């Protein structure tokens, strides 16, 4: 255990820099009235992060409190400016986030008028930091400012928290502040180096770069992998109408795994011929399938990814909604799960008591263990004061909430409810039967499983007890031999059994699989990189930066990602590695526990990083000045084209830059786009119109461009697609209103534009519902529908959007349907 160091604690932190003068924000009349009412009635102010949370909490606190939302963070390090005083203890220079001035002004007026102020953001580091920023920005009187934390948004938890309010935990604030400063130092110092050496717009992150490195290294393992052939021999039996199989496991003293070649396999099969095999051993063993603990954050993200195909980001968004409160008929806004950022498997005694009552009433005494099941938290440095993710009330079974939740909310809630209830049930019991057949020195083994008692698997339903795959109801791997068969009860040792056939089959070793979201989260957790609350952000960031792509739900590194990681590992290998990053996470935990000073942690990192940075400024290859030349020539000056990069990836640029600024894609110059003359005249400038082709299809445009930018969408026959008439008159000029399209979708616009610029949202009755096509998505299996693009052209899209973004042109789906079924089989996850 880390020894607590003596440290001189700084007083409540204020930014060294003077806060910028903010323009006065005038509150509207309603807000002013609320301030007066708060002052007159002596109400207390409660500040949370989100309106949903505010609504749920307000219901329990009653009229003596005013509950308001800060809408997340209100202060942060400045944009476009480093914002850290490196000469004075890494002091951060916080400023109000753009657009939050009105929120700050209203909260400041309300807090000044309130009897007391309760800061109630989430209970993790980020929530503590939000509470501290609120205290600093609102200039709260510490004597009347309190911190309240709760693990669930229920009446008892809320009232209990307000009965025993505390003060801010500055250790948590320091830990979050250290993380923010570390990330700012690396981002602001390293990104300009990448801009100078590789391409503008690139960035690198302290934790995200390590995650990309894992993906790059796995990609190279896959490329370097050499497939090797191996053979298996399987004997197939049928006894009393019962089919089963046994696999060759041993020849003499040699264990057969992936070391059997074709010659040996075929020789053995020929030797056996039509001979029977002797059943030498038959053994029954009991098998217990104990319940697993309720979810931690990382486990929830992994299971939601494998079972529901949710991204980590989507899982956390849905979990946040369930935590903060959902409208339940007859109850109002109700928090349905406990806090969703946790690495603890602990469960409160009250929750255990409630779920044990539910198990007895719903499943019977036979499923209830004599004593509650206890689980040990695996995560190093886990917050045992937190609880696992569980329903706030186990009596709210998923079927009860169908009308209150969206489809995806219900799926996630069901996953959480099932896991929690099963965690307090008795183990499932089965009998594993192992039969060993011999022929000479060849030993074949068959395994079968018979369920004796479903136990904790009961909660998942009958289909989940023995699924068709080698995964159980929770997605855990099962014994692959036993998962698919049971053995006949009439088998007896000492008897010969003739197989229907003995088959040799060819197999190939497989490369390590690419990371999925679930396996990447698992790897990050295993190596101690990041924390449960940061996994979703890490995964989103590495995709947004263009360093990795996700294909069929598996991550692959891009060329840009590989190039950047190679440079970072070469010049910052002592920072961009799993051990160093994991040790930094441990240091941050030590800060949170009060065992380390946050400035010391930042200094240790900064000393190593700046030394590497100074060296890299000199030694890192400049890909802009020393590019690799391709085999393609410039179509403008004939010089070789150089391989260059920008934040979107690789492209080719003329090696004679800046004399020649020609660029092209890696496949060479694009073919000239077709321009088709028409007999149409521009109604704006009277010049001829032509049909051009763009990245989004064909359109008609004025030849007077760029002075005249008149364009319109055209159909396949080159006819202008006219705006759809609505029969609605403009309320400003009485001209007909038509349906037009923009990047945000269709809207109502006046046909007299540009004289009249009246526009309105499209009424629901005019919105076209997607047309059912009867086609199934060849990527995820969900139905596909016909939609209209914002340019007025139909296309086919998957209803699984945004998880599945599969689209097709109208008519393309007919071509696809002509293919044989096996040609359309997805190569997705098994």
**Active site (catalytic) residues:** 339
Structure-block tokens of residue 239: 């006894």
Phi/psi at 683 (nearest 5 deg)? -75, -5
Which one, of 234, 40, 180, 160, lies nearest residue 601 by Cα? 180
Alpha helix (H) residue ranges in 252-372: 262-272, 297-307, 312-324, 349-363
On the 0-12 / 13-18 / 19+ scale of CB atoms within 10 A, 103 is buried
Q: What angle, rounded to 10 degrees, do the helices at 535-544 and 208-224 form?
A: 70
Pairing of strands 65-69, 44-48: parallel
C-alpha distances in Å from residue 297, one per residue of 154, 348, 593, 660, 702: 20, 17, 21, 53, 56
The Cα angle at residue 717 between residues 716 and 722, in degrees rounded to 5? 85
Contact 69, 50 (CB under 8 A): yes
Contacts of 419 (CB under 8 A, 6+ apart): 292, 294, 295, 303, 474
529 in Cβ contact with 215 (< 8 Å) = no
CA distance 46 to 817: 59
Evaluated on CA atoms 792, 794, 795, 799, the torsion sign reads positive
The two structure tokens encoding residue 108 = 């400041």
Contact between 626 and 200 (Cβ < 8 Å) = no
Q: Which helix (H) or strand (E) holds 679?
A: strand 676-681
What stretches of 116-203 adopt beta strand conformation (E)?
A: 117-119, 145-147
Contact 627, 666 (CB under 8 A): no
* Calpha distance 716→195 (Å, rounded): 44
- Enumerate helices (H) and strands (E) in the chain, giving the number of each: 19, 36
Burial degree of 803 (CB within 10 A; 0-12, 13-18, 19+): middle
């Amino acid at each position: 255990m880390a020894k607590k160091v003596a440290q001189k604690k700084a007083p409540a932190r204020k930014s060294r820099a003077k806060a910028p003068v903010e323009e006065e924000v005038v509150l509207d009349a309603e807000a002013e009235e609320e301030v007066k009412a708060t002052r007159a009635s002596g109400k207390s102010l409660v500040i949370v992060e989100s309106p949903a949370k505010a609504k749920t909490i307000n219901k329990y606190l009653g009229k003596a409190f005013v509950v308001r939302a800060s809408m997340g963070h209100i202060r942060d390090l400045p944009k476009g400016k480093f914002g850290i005083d490196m000469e004075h203890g890494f002091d951060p220079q916080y400023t109000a986030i753009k657009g939050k001035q009105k929120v700050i002004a209203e909260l400041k007026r309300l807090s000044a008028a309130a009897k007391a102020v309760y800061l109630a953001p989430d209970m993790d580091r980020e929530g503590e930091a939000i509470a501290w920023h609120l205290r600093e920005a609102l200039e709260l009187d510490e004597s009347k400012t309190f911190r309240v934390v709760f693990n669930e948004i229920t009446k008892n938890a809320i009232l209990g928290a307000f009965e025993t309010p505390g003060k801010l935990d500055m250790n948590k604030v320091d830990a979050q502040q250290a993380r923010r400063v570390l990330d700012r130092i690396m981002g602001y110092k390293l990104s300009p180096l990448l801009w100078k050496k590789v391409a503008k717009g690139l960035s690198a992150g302290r934790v995200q770069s390590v995650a990309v490195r894992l993906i790059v290294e796995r990609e190279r393992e896959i490329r370097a992998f050499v497939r090797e052939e191996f053979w298996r021999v399987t004997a197939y039996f049928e006894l009393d109408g019962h089919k089963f199989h046994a696999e060759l496991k041993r020849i003499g003293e040699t264990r057969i795994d992936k070391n059997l070649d074709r010659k040996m396999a075929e020789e053995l099969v020929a030797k056996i011929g039509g001979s029977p095999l002797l059943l030498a051993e038959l053994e029954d063993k009991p098998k217990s399938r104990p319940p697993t603990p309720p979810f931690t954050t990382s486990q929830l993200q992994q299971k939601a990814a494998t079972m529901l195909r949710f991204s980590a980001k989507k899982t956390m968004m849905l979990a946040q909604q369930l935590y903060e409160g959902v409208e339940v008929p007859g109850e109002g806004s109700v928090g349905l799960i406990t806090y969703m950022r946790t690495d603890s498997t602990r469960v409160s005694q009250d929750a255990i008591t409630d779920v044990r009552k539910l198990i007895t009433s719903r499943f019977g005494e036979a499923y209830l263990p004599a004593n509650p099941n206890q689980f040990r938290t695996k995560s190093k440095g886990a917050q045992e004061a937190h609880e696992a993710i569980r329903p706030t009330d186990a009596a709210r079974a998923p079927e009860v909430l169908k009308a209150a939740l969206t489809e995806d909310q219900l799926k996630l809630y069901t996953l959480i409810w099932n896991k929690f209830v099963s965690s307090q049930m008795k183990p499932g019991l089965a009998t594993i039967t192992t039969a060993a057949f011999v022929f000479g020195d060849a030993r074949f083994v068959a395994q079968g499983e018979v369920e004796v008692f479903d136990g904790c698997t009961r909660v998942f339903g009958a289909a989940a007890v023995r699924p068709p795959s080698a995964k159980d109801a929770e997605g855990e791997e099962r014994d692959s031999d036993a998962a698919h068969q049971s053995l006949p009860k009439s088998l007896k040792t000492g008897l010969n059994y003739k197989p229907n056939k003995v088959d040799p089959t060819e197999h190939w070793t497989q490369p390590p699989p690419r990371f999925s979201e679930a396996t990447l989260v698992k790897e990050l957790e295993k190596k101690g990189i990041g924390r449960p609350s940061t996994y979703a952000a890490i995964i989103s960031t590495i995709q947004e930066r263009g360093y990795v792509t996700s294909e069929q739900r598996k991550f692959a590194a891009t060329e840009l990602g590989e190039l950047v990681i190679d440079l970072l590992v070469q010049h910052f290998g002592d920072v961009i590695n799993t051990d160093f990053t994991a040790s930094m996470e441990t240091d941050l935990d030590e800060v949170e526990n009060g065992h380390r000073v946050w400035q010391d942690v930042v200094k240790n990192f900064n000393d190593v990083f700046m030394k590497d940075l100074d060296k890299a400024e000199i030694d890192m290859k400049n890909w802009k000045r020393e590019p690799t030349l391709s085999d393609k020539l410039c179509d403008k000056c004939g010089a070789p084209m150089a391989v260059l990069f920008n934040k979107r990836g690789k492209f080719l640029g003329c090696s004679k830059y800046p004399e020649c600024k020609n660029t092209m894609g890696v496949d060479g110059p694009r073919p000239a786009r077709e321009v088709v003359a028409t007999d149409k005249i521009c109604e704006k400038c009277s010049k001829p119109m032509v049909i051009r082709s763009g990245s989004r299809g064909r359109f008609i445009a004025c030849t007077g461009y760029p002075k005249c930018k008149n364009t319109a969408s055209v159909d396949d026959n080159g006819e202008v697609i006219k705006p759809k008439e609505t029969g609605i008159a403009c309320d400003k000029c009485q001209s007909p209103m038509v349906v037009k399209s923009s990047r945000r979708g269709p809207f109502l616009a006046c046909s007299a534009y540009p004289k009249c610029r009246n526009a309105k949202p499209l009424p629901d009755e005019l919105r076209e519902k997607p047309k059912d096509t009867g086609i199934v998505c060849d990527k995820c299996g969900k139905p596909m529908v016909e939609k209209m693009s914002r340019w007025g052209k139909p296309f086919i899209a998957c209803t699984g959007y945004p998880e599945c973004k599969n689209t097709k042109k109208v008519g393309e789906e007919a071509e696809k349907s002509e293919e044989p079924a096996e040609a359309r089989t997805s190569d997705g996850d098994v």
